[in-house]
Amino acid sequence: MGYQEAKTYVEKAAKSGIVPGLIRVRRLLNALGRPERLCRVVHVAGTNGKGSTCAYLESILMRAGYDVGRYSSPEIRDYLDRFSLNGKPMTESDFISCIDIVKTAADREIAAGMEEPTAFEIETALAFLYFSKKKCDIAIVEAGMGGAMDATNVIEHPLMAVITSISLDHMAYLGDCVAKIAGEKAGIIKGGHPVVVGVQPEEALVVLRKAYEMQERKHRGEAESAGRTGKSYFAPVKEEDIIIQKRTLMGQHFSYKGEAFMTKLLGTCQASNAANAVLAAEMLREMGFGVKKEHIRDGIAKADWPYRFTVIPTRPVLVLDGAHNPDGARQLSESVKEYFANRRVVFIIGVFKDKDYEGILNETVSLCDSLYTVPLPDRSRGLCPKELCAAVKERTGKKGICENYYEAARMAGEDAGKDGVVVSFGSLSYLPAMENAWRDCYGQGED
């Protein structure tokens, strides 16, 4: 099996019409010998900030000398970015080898009556198989969409659960209010294991704390009867413990619980995301891992995670951001106001049709001088630019429809002028192509 054949096998797996649940992925992992039980896992769920939090924690643990696996989605630039070891994507040869094993097991189980697994279930099984084969010290595993019924929730005994900021997204699947969505995310909490919780709306924090307490009560009796003891914590990041000291386009300096940090990741949400990772690293140290203060400080400083308020210093400036829900759009707007006050701002937007694009526009349109809509690479899932533009028209008359990314780069760039700012946001799926088109038009930018 070649690389493209292996990738096509995953792409053709069921993506819809399947009842959510863990039965298929558990059966598939059973057939593979339960590789997830060979991994020490930090399990991460949340609405926004998962990717950045994972990137910070990965960077910290690598500097502490650990071999770190990471499973996340969607990919940033290349499909194999989803599966990485020590910051490097899985090789094509490892992907082919692992898919061959997973496919053989899946075919055998399907023949025995198992419903066909979804693409994400196959990828999740592949990730655990890969990490176990590579004998990584710690695997950072990011939930795909929810928590309780997410395929990654086959993890029975994580090192800890980390739950980042919760807001409205995927409401058709997870619930129509923050409390219901928090209940789904809380499904990754396991009794007897620490839980790190990022800055949350109060209604989400209440749900998460209650879920933790319930799981602890359930676990305590079992642990005591078996003679097991162990520390478990519910550790929330408190917003008042994060103090911003300086923000520039080179990075931002902040303190968390009195300790000074610097991150090169921009955006007003990044200090909070970094604090999630700092607190998780401190918990791991209390559990006996060799994570020192200098590892945490250096890890935060050197972490990289593209397309989260990524600034390309051309003229005009380009900002690339994967804000694809109203809360992400709100954070993007705050960052634009923070970094680019009193400059002409032009937006480029492309989103999936199942996203709350009305809510996204409500958070952003008043900030821009004009806006251009673009199609997504997957046109079957993307919201038609004309339809998106019609929604924009109700809020502003300054708009344009672009059929490709080069046209968007040229039109938006000319509109912004050399001293202006173009902000390209929405689905992560189009941002690499948008960046390439922009660089072709305006060069690489200043260092």
pLDDT of 223 reads 59
pLDDT tens-digit series, residues 246-280? 999 999 999 999 999 999 999 999 999 999 999 99
User: In this structure, which long-range contacts are made by residues 391-399, counting pairs with CB atoms below 8 Å and at least 24 apart in sequence?
Assistant: 391/357, 391/358, 391/361, 392/361, 392/365, 395/361, 395/362, 395/365, 395/366, 396/365, 396/366, 396/368, 396/370, 396/371, 398/368, 398/369, 398/370, 398/371, 399/370, 399/371, 399/372, 399/373
CA-closest candidate to residue 310, choices 142, 442, 431: 431
Look over the chain and give the mean of its residue pLDDT values, rounded to a whole number: 91
Q: Which one has a higher pLDDT value, 206 or 220?
A: 206
Helix ranges (H only) for 112-196 are: 119-134, 171-174, 178-185
Nearby residues of 417 by Cβ (< 8 Å), 6 or more positions away: 316, 344
pLDDT tens-digit series, residues 53-98? 999 999 999 999 999 999 998 888 899 999 999 999 999 999 999 9
pLDDT of 168 reads 67
User: Three-class SS of residue 18?
Assistant: coil
- Taking phi first (over 0 means left), then psi (-120 to 50 degrees means alpha), and beta for anything else, what does residue 299 get? alpha
What letter represents residue 51's amino acid? G
Q: What are the structure tokens assigned to 81, written together?
A: 């970015």
Give the number of residues written for the chain.
Answer: 447
pLDDT of 222 reads 64
User: Three-class SS of residue 118?
Assistant: strand
pLDDT tens-digit series, residues 421-433? 999 999 999 999 9
Phi, psi of 347 (to 5 degrees): -105, 145
CA distance 368 to 389: 14
CA-closest candidate to residue 51, choices 385, 324, 318, 387: 324
Beta bridge partners of 252: 247, 263
Domains and CATH numbers, the chain: 3-302 (3.40.1190.10), 310-442 (3.90.190.20)
Q: How far is CA 310 from CA 60, 134, 318, 341, 427, in A?
A: 21, 32, 8, 17, 14
Confidence of residue 14 (pLDDT cuts 50, 70, 90): low
Confidence of residue 175 (pLDDT cuts 50, 70, 90): low
Residue with tokens 């490709």, as numbered in its chain: 404
CA distance 255 to 172: 38
By DSSP bridging, strand 251-256 and strand 242-248 are: antiparallel
